[in-house]
């Protein structure tokens, strides 16, 4: 189990207190920007952003599609994929077993 934990990087993130309409508040845009910044510091990791579920953007969305069979969607030209918060316990081991490092922000 120790080896698996070495492949997960968890960045602290405050309780986000999600507004009711994420799009109107620019919340999704900030999440995409934060994911891009995290990708710069951890380029070999799949970046998962915790919002109302765990979201992956760009090429990381392709990984969720390939490994977890999650649909790829688009928001203003940016590819994304997601899964519910309570699915992390089952999805994280699947990603790691396939050889992916995962960073959660």
State mean pLDDT over 38-45: 95
> How many whole angstroms separate alpha carbon 23 and alpha carbon 1?
39
State mean pLDDT over 21-31: 70
* Tokens 């959660």 found at: 104
Pairing state of beta strands 78-83 and 101-104? unpaired
* Tokens 């077993």 found at: 97
pLDDT of residue 12: 42
State mean pLDDT over 72-95: 92
Residue 93 in this model has a pLDDT that exceeds 50? yes
pLDDT of residue 25: 59
5-14, 18-27, 95-104: range with lowest mean pLDDT: 5-14
Q: Which CATH class is domain 2-12+20-104?
A: alpha beta
Q: Domain spans of the chain?
A: 2-12+20-104
Residue 7 in this model has a pLDDT that exceeds 70? no
> How many whole angstroms separate alpha carbon 78 and alpha carbon 96?
25
């Amino acid at each position: 189990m120790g080896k698996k934990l070495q492949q997960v990087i968890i960045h602290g993130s405050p309780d986000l207190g999600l507004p009711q309409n994420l799009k109107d508040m620019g919340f999704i845009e900030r999440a995409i920007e934060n994911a891009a910044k995290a990708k710069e510091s951890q380029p070999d990791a799949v970046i998962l952003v915790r919002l109302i579920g765990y979201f992956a953007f760009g090429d990381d969305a392709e990984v969720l599609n390939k490994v977890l069979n999650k649909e790829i969607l688009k928001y203003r030209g940016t590819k994304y994929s997601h899964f519910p918060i309570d699915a992390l316990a089952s999805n994280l081991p699947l990603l790691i077993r396939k050889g992916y490092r995962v960073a959660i922000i």
